[in-house]
Protein backbone atom coordinates (compact mmCIF):
# COMPACT_ATOMS: atom_id res chain seq x y z
CA UNK A 1 0.00 0.00 0.00
CA UNK A 2 2.72 2.30 0.78
CA UNK A 3 4.05 1.88 -2.63
CA UNK A 4 0.78 2.85 -4.21
CA UNK A 5 0.48 5.79 -1.92
CA UNK A 6 3.89 7.09 -2.99
CA UNK A 7 2.90 6.84 -6.59
CA UNK A 8 -0.36 8.63 -5.95
CA UNK A 9 1.44 11.42 -4.14
CA UNK A 10 3.94 11.74 -6.91
CA UNK A 11 1.20 11.73 -9.50
CA UNK A 12 -0.76 14.49 -7.87
CA UNK A 13 1.95 17.08 -8.19
CA UNK A 14 2.53 16.02 -11.73
CA UNK A 15 -1.23 16.18 -12.46
CA UNK A 16 -1.56 19.45 -10.64
CA UNK A 17 1.37 20.83 -12.55
CA UNK A 18 -0.18 19.89 -15.89
CA UNK A 19 -3.54 21.25 -14.84
CA UNK A 20 -1.89 24.45 -13.69
CA UNK A 21 0.00 24.73 -16.98
CA UNK A 22 -3.16 24.07 -18.96
CA UNK A 23 -5.06 26.64 -16.90
CA UNK A 24 -2.27 29.20 -17.31
CA UNK A 25 -2.17 28.53 -21.02
CA UNK A 26 -5.95 28.92 -21.24
CA UNK A 27 -5.74 32.09 -19.15
CA UNK A 28 -3.04 33.50 -21.45
CA UNK A 29 -5.19 32.71 -24.49
CA UNK A 30 -8.18 34.39 -22.83
CA UNK A 31 -6.06 37.43 -22.00
CA UNK A 32 -4.91 37.59 -25.62
CA UNK A 33 -8.51 37.32 -26.84
CA UNK A 34 -9.53 40.10 -24.45
CA UNK A 35 -6.59 42.25 -25.62
CA UNK A 36 -7.54 41.67 -29.28
CA UNK A 37 -11.21 42.33 -28.56
CA UNK A 38 -10.27 45.54 -26.71
CA UNK A 39 -8.05 46.66 -29.62
CA UNK A 40 -10.82 45.86 -32.09
CA UNK A 41 -13.34 47.78 -29.97
CA UNK A 42 -11.01 50.78 -29.73
CA UNK A 43 -10.36 50.64 -33.46
CA UNK A 44 -14.10 50.36 -34.20
CA UNK A 45 -14.70 53.34 -31.90
CA UNK A 46 -11.93 55.31 -33.64
CA UNK A 47 -13.33 54.30 -37.03
CA UNK A 48 -16.79 55.44 -35.97
CA UNK A 49 -15.60 58.86 -34.75
CA UNK A 50 -15.66 60.46 -38.22
CA UNK A 51 -19.14 59.03 -38.69
CA UNK A 52 -20.21 60.34 -35.28
CA UNK A 53 -18.74 63.75 -36.11
CA UNK A 54 -20.44 63.72 -39.49
CA UNK A 55 -23.73 62.71 -37.86
CA UNK A 56 -23.41 65.54 -35.33
CA UNK A 57 -22.63 68.01 -38.12
CA UNK A 58 -25.62 66.78 -40.13
CA UNK A 59 -27.87 67.11 -37.08
CA UNK A 60 -26.58 70.65 -36.54
CA UNK A 61 -27.19 71.51 -40.21
CA UNK A 62 -30.66 70.00 -40.01
CA UNK A 63 -31.44 72.07 -36.93
CA UNK A 64 -30.21 75.29 -38.60
CA UNK A 65 -32.11 74.48 -41.79
CA UNK A 66 -35.27 73.76 -39.81
CA UNK A 67 -34.93 77.11 -38.04
CA UNK A 68 -34.38 78.89 -41.36
CA UNK A 69 -37.39 77.11 -42.83
CA UNK A 70 -39.53 78.29 -39.92
CA UNK A 71 -38.33 81.86 -40.50
CA UNK A 72 -39.04 81.56 -44.23
CA UNK A 73 -42.53 80.21 -43.50
CA UNK A 74 -43.18 83.15 -41.18
CA UNK A 75 -41.92 85.58 -43.84
CA UNK A 76 -44.03 83.91 -46.53
CA UNK A 77 -47.14 84.13 -44.35
CA UNK A 78 -46.42 87.79 -43.70
CA UNK A 79 -45.87 88.49 -47.40
CA UNK A 80 -49.05 86.62 -48.34
CA UNK A 81 -50.98 88.73 -45.87
CA UNK A 82 -49.40 91.89 -47.25
CA UNK A 83 -50.19 90.78 -50.80
CA UNK A 84 -53.83 90.14 -49.92
CA UNK A 85 -54.03 93.55 -48.25
CA UNK A 86 -52.42 95.18 -51.29
CA UNK A 87 -54.85 93.38 -53.62
CA UNK A 88 -57.80 94.62 -51.56
CA UNK A 89 -56.38 98.14 -51.59
CA UNK A 90 -55.85 98.05 -55.36
CA UNK A 91 -59.40 96.80 -55.95
CA UNK A 92 -60.80 99.50 -53.66
CA UNK A 93 -58.79 102.21 -55.44
CA UNK A 94 -59.84 100.87 -58.85
CA UNK A 95 -63.47 101.01 -57.75
CA UNK A 96 -62.96 104.56 -56.48
CA UNK A 97 -61.26 105.50 -59.76
CA UNK A 98 -64.16 104.03 -61.75
CA UNK A 99 -66.63 105.98 -59.60
CA UNK A 100 -64.58 109.15 -60.08
CA UNK A 101 -64.47 108.63 -63.85
CA UNK A 102 -68.23 108.16 -63.95
CA UNK A 103 -68.70 111.27 -61.80
CA UNK A 104 -66.31 113.29 -63.99
CA UNK A 105 -68.10 112.15 -67.14
CA UNK A 106 -71.45 113.12 -65.64
CA UNK A 107 -70.05 116.55 -64.70
CA UNK A 108 -68.68 117.02 -68.25
CA UNK A 109 -72.07 116.18 -69.71
CA UNK A 110 -73.73 118.65 -67.35
CA UNK A 111 -71.21 121.36 -68.27
CA UNK A 112 -71.71 120.63 -71.98
CA UNK A 113 -75.50 120.83 -71.54
CA UNK A 114 -75.12 124.06 -69.59
CA UNK A 115 -72.93 125.50 -72.35
CA UNK A 116 -75.37 124.48 -75.05
CA UNK A 117 -78.48 125.89 -73.36
CA UNK A 118 -77.37 129.55 -73.34
CA UNK A 119 -76.12 129.26 -76.92
CA UNK A 120 -79.47 127.92 -78.03
CA UNK A 121 -81.39 130.56 -76.13
CA UNK A 122 -79.18 133.43 -77.08
CA UNK A 123 -78.32 132.74 -80.69
CA UNK A 124 -78.08 136.07 -82.40
CA UNK A 125 -77.82 137.95 -79.09
CA UNK A 126 -74.77 140.00 -78.24
CA UNK A 127 -74.86 138.79 -74.66
CA UNK A 128 -72.81 135.77 -73.70
CA UNK A 129 -72.55 133.63 -70.59
CA UNK A 130 -69.20 132.90 -69.07
CA UNK A 131 -69.08 130.68 -66.01
CA UNK A 132 -72.81 131.11 -65.57
CA UNK A 133 -72.54 134.96 -65.54
CA UNK A 134 -74.05 137.20 -68.16
CA UNK A 135 -71.47 139.34 -69.95
CA UNK A 136 -71.67 141.87 -72.66
CA UNK A 137 -69.11 141.70 -75.45
CA UNK A 138 -66.11 143.99 -75.15
CA UNK A 139 -65.63 146.64 -77.74
CA UNK A 140 -62.79 148.95 -78.31
CA UNK A 141 -63.40 152.57 -77.84
CA UNK A 142 -64.85 154.07 -80.96
CA UNK A 143 -65.49 150.78 -82.66
CA UNK A 144 -68.77 149.33 -83.48
CA UNK A 145 -69.62 146.10 -85.17
CA UNK A 146 -71.04 147.60 -88.33
CA UNK A 147 -67.98 149.83 -88.85
CA UNK A 148 -65.57 146.97 -88.58
CA UNK A 149 -67.45 144.79 -91.01
CA UNK A 150 -67.58 147.62 -93.53
CA UNK A 151 -63.88 148.34 -93.27
CA UNK A 152 -62.95 144.64 -93.38
CA UNK A 153 -60.31 144.96 -90.70
CA UNK A 154 -59.80 145.25 -87.00
CA UNK A 155 -60.05 141.58 -86.10
CA UNK A 156 -62.33 138.62 -86.47
CA UNK A 157 -65.86 138.56 -85.30
CA UNK A 158 -67.84 135.58 -84.16
CA UNK A 159 -71.58 135.28 -84.08
CA UNK A 160 -72.90 137.74 -81.59
CA UNK A 161 -69.83 137.79 -79.39
CA UNK A 162 -67.79 140.69 -80.68
CA UNK A 163 -64.04 140.66 -81.28
CA UNK A 164 -61.97 137.61 -80.53
Taking only the tens place, the pLDDT of each residue in 102-137 is 999 999 999 999 888 877 766 655 555 555 565 555
Share of the chain above pLDDT 70, in %: 65
Residues 6-43 pLDDT 10s: 544 544 556 788 899 999 999 999 999 999 999 999 99
pTM (predicted TM-score): 0.40
Written as one string, the DSSP assignment of 3-63 is HHHHHHHHHHHHHHHHHHHHHHHHHHHHHHHHHHHHHHHHHHHHHHHHHHHHHHHHHHHHH
- Please tell me the distance from the alpha carbon of residue 133 to that of residue 110, in angstroms, as a whole number: 16
- Please tell me the distance from the alpha carbon of residue 136 to that of residue 140, in angstroms, as a whole number: 13
Q: What is the mean pLDDT of the chain?
A: 79
Domain coordinates of the chain in residue numbers? 8-121, 127-164
- pLDDT at 51 (0 to 100): 86
Amino acid sequence: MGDNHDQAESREPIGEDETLKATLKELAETREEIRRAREEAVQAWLDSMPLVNKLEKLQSNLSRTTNKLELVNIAVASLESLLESTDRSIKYKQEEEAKSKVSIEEMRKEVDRARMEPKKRLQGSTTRYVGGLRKRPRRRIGESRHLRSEEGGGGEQSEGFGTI
